[in-house]
Structure 1
Amino acid sequence: MPSDPARPALDAATRRFLPWVVALAFFMQTLDTTILNTALPGMALALGEHPLRMQSAVIAYMLTVALLIPASGWLADRLGTRTLFLWAIALFSLGSLACALAGSLNWLVAARVLQGVGGALLVPVGRLVVLRAFPKEQFLPVMSFIAIPGLIGPLIGPALGGVLVQFASWHWIFLINLPVGVAGVLAALRYMPQLKAQALKAFDWPGFVLFSLGLMLLSVGLQGFGERMVSTALSLVLLVAGLASMAAYWLHAARAEAPLFQMGLFAIPTYRIGIIGNVFARLGSGATPFLTPMYLQLGLGYSPSEAGLSMVPTVLGAMLTKTLATRLIQRQGYRRVLVANTLLLGALIASFALLDRQTSHLWLAIHLAIFGMVNSLQFSAMNTLTLGDLDAQTASSGNSLLAVVMQLSMSLGVATSSAFLLLFSGASELPRGQDLLPAFHATYLSIGAMAALAAFIFYQLRRHEGAADAGDTMGQE
């Protein structure tokens, strides 16, 4: 990321309301990532699709966000923070409108890509403005305030999605973004400063193209294998092409003066282990926000509103863990916490296979709350381990790569869980009325085993590596 410009002089009103503008962007982005999952079965019915084939609408958004995160800082320095922030809100809102107007799954996927372009820029640009506009002693309090809407979004998203799809229409899960977007544009025009870098560094466009192409080809190839959207031969070709693109990026980055991601990052043991562990752990845990609302509806027979409300204990459990994670990590160390918690996380994911239609709402709430606590501890520990040993020269590049890996691994987790569901359902045409409970149980067992395997990666940590700094990382979940 280019060097910071001189800190701007902000008037009292801007200093007061700028955090609210950025918080609004956080809320829009986090609400959208959770509100859709509960509505997928109802949307599938309206669009004439089977619910188990709706994952492309989720993957399209996540993958688009992952592809554009590396360019967000450079674009903000080139265009100015206010200009890019306004474009981000506008594209996110237009994408939401296009989603609401979608008459087919392909249309919905294309609209989600447009929405993802805006979503990829909203949070990074907002965080960048706060970093540059407020002095160091005010940064943590401001970011703590901004993080609150980021917690509220996942809290109300699943329940709101379920209520809207059951009592109104699925279109409203996208239409509610429009008034929020209008308010965001008006507020940004008044309170968002136009900040640019004093000296704009060249962006690694060849590296960006190679890296993005590799991610896209790998994702489409894996999704093709799972869904049988294309032939096995074409899926294999896409996977090989994706690997070739990633290998080409690796060779390019080794010689480039200012690569997209610094190669020196992987010389840091805690960063290397944290990144690889993130990939495998999130393949399992990242699939659950997508999988569980469908499991409750298609497997256990819950209504959309019941399924959405049932997800609330997960977020409440995650919030509770926020107050305990730092002390636990500082007392036990990263190696013990991550190895034990990763195994526990895998076991909890697999234990969803023990739930059936006779399971009480109370026991389900307890199960989801415990899962939320363990999952939140996992994310906090992985993120702080990964970023804790970065210095001023590697922090920006390392944080950007972590954000990409998080989005990509969750996208692959959704694709993998969908592939398992299709495999275990045993029917290529997926007739309506089929009992999907056994397929869901087998899927949870599989992704739980995948998540637990990450414990072998975290076991490579030395006993005291990363133990000095265990503060949480804002906005990384």
Structure 2
Amino acid sequence: MHSMSVAHHLNFYLPRRLLGGFLTDALSWRSIFWVNVPVGIAGILLTWKLLPASPAERPVPPDLRGMMMIGGSLTLFMIGIECAGRNVLPPFAAPACIAAGVLLFWLAVRHCRRVPDPAVDFSLLAIPTFHAATIAGSLFRAGAGALPFLVPLTLQTGFGYSASASGLVTFASALGSFCMRPMTSTALRHFSVRTVLCAGSVSFAAMLVACSFMSQSWPAAAIFMLLLFGGLSRSLGFATMGALAFADVPKSQLASATSFHRTAQQLMKAVGVTVAAGTIQVTMILSPGTHAQRWQLAAAFVVTALVVLASYPMFARMPPEAGEGISAARGRGRGAAAEMK
């Protein structure tokens, strides 16, 4: 799995950061979205060619009602959050969308708990390791989702960087993530999963707070090193949570757990951007202007850091033996205790 992750970063994630800035300067910001088309087609073709066909172990009819309710609730909620305070919809529409989304999600949860093969299996949250990796991990991922939005915005609108120069600096975050991937197993050999996740949460939140102090007087090298550290701590948390999520999931529920976990991952990245943008929007309502000022961008970094830090108590409440199958620290501790006996 580490090899697949490193290959993914080397072949796609790292070049994307550099390519996006150059395309924006050479063509337009819209061009970076078109890059996803050939990449997606290549992914489909490679998947069809390289992965062998495997029949479903237990084919069941899809929970169409649950899918529609979950999808509708998330759509309404995101529309309400995105349009709040932007005068895109009538004043009552954004709060109404948020309320309708929350109500529909509650009904969807009730529905999914009653049917035998639900669209989203919420019973998985009764597994402590899956709960921590998904719920606490969602807060962590919200911060990770906001970072690629806030840093280029700060560099380009606040410090006057071009898109290409911004891409070269923010490349540090992807580089840090790439470098940490093969080192995650080393960390888990020396420390428990709980310790690694708590440390990752605090260090990533501290990095976001440090970003709030960035200014035009900072040399590009200093910003690069700060983002490199952020990429290291973020990747450590991602890799550990990815392994922890499925550590105790029964084989019969692995398919449901995978879809649940991946949906939460992608959703919270979007929520992170929404939280950051919403914070800036609120501060601009309080202090109107044509562009976000430096203190308004700093406020978004701090709020995002608080969201990430909210994951720490959940990680800290995990039992010491949580995820012992992916960490060698507990195994060594038990071996030493046995020898003493």
- Normalization by structure 2: what TM-score? 0.86
CA distance in 1, matches of 2:64, 2:158: 46
Letter in 1 for 2:12: G
Q: Deviations over 1:145-201 (max 9, x none)?
A: 586145432212122111122133445434445665676777788777666548742
The 1:444–1:170 alpha-carbon spacing in structure 2 relative to 1, beyond 3 Å, is closer
**1:168 alignment counterpart:** 27
The size of the alignment, in residue pairs, is: 328
Measure how far apart 1:427 and its partner are: 6.8
How many angstroms does 1:325 deviate by?
Answer: 1.4
1:282 paired residue number = 141
Matches within 5 A, 1:2-401: 144-145=3-4, 148-176=7-35, 197=56, 200-225=59-84, 227-401=86-260
CA contact 1:341–1:374 (8 Å) conserved in 2? yes
Deviations 1:218-264 (A, max 9, x none): 21122233545334532222222112211112211222121122243
Q: State the match for 1:463 in structure 2.
A: 320
Alpha carbons of structure 1 residues 256 and 232: separation in structure 2 relative to 1, 3 Å: same
Instruction: From the superposition, tell whether residues 261 and 187 of structure 1 become closer, same or farther in structure 2 (CA, over 3 Å).
Output: closer
Equivalent of residue 449 in structure 1, options 286, 294, 306: 306
SS at match of 1:373: helix
Give the distance between the partners of 1:469 and 1:421, measured in 2 at CA.
40
Partner of 1:414: 273
CA 1:167–1:190: 2 relative to 1, 3 Å? same
Q: Counterpart in 2 of 1:136? A: none
The one-letter amino acid paired with 1:424 is: T
Name stretches of at least 5 consecutive residues in structure 2 with no aligned partner.
329-341
Q: State the 1:430 CA deviation.
A: 4.5
Q: Structure 2 CA distance, aligned partners of 1:353 and 1:300?
A: 13
Change (3 A) 1:226 1:406: farther
Q: 1:368 deviation in Å?
A: 0.8
**TM-score, length of structure 1 as denominator length:** 0.63
Q: Which amino acid aligns with 1:293?
A: P
2:297 matched to 1:440?
Answer: yes
Instruction: Label 1:459 to 1:182 Cα distance change in 2 as closer, same or farther (>3 A).
Output: closer
Secondary structure, counterpart of 2:212 in structure 1: helix
Which amino acid is 1:338 matched to?
Answer: L
Asked if 1 retains the 8 angstrom alpha-carbon contact of 2:247 and 2:326, the reply is yes
Partners of 2:46 and 2:267 in 1: CA distance: 32
Q: Name the structure 2 match of 1:23.
A: none
Query: What is the Cα-based RMSD across aligned positions, in Å?
Result: 2.7
CA distance in 1, matches of 2:322, 2:37: 46
Q: 5+ unaligned residues in a row in structure 1: which ranges?
A: 1-139, 472-477
Alpha-carbon separation, structure 2, partners of 1:264 and 1:186: 35
Q: Secondary structure at the match of 1:311?
A: helix
C-alpha separation between the residues in 2 aligned to 1:282 and 1:189?
30
Judged with a 3 Å threshold, the aligned counterparts in structure 2 of structure 1 residues 394 and 151 are, in CA distance, closer, same or farther, namely farther
Alpha-carbon distance in 2 for matches of 1:237, 1:449:
27
Which stretch shows the higher mean deviation, 372-381 or 166-175?
Answer: 166-175
Contact 1:330 1:468 in 2 (8 A): no
Q: Secondary structure at the match of 1:355?
A: coil
In structure 2, relative to structure 1, the CA distance for the partners of 1:342 and 1:191 (3 Å cut) is closer
Say which structure, 1 or 2, has more relative contact order (CA 8 Å, 6+ apart). Answer: 2
Q: 1:158 to 1:209 in 2, by over 3 A?
A: same
Change (3 A) 1:315 1:191: closer
Residue-by-residue CA offset, 1:347-396 (whole Å, 9 max, x unaligned): 11111011100101111111111010001111112222222111211111
Distance (whole Å) between structure 1 residues aligned to residue 311 and residue 167 of structure 2: 29
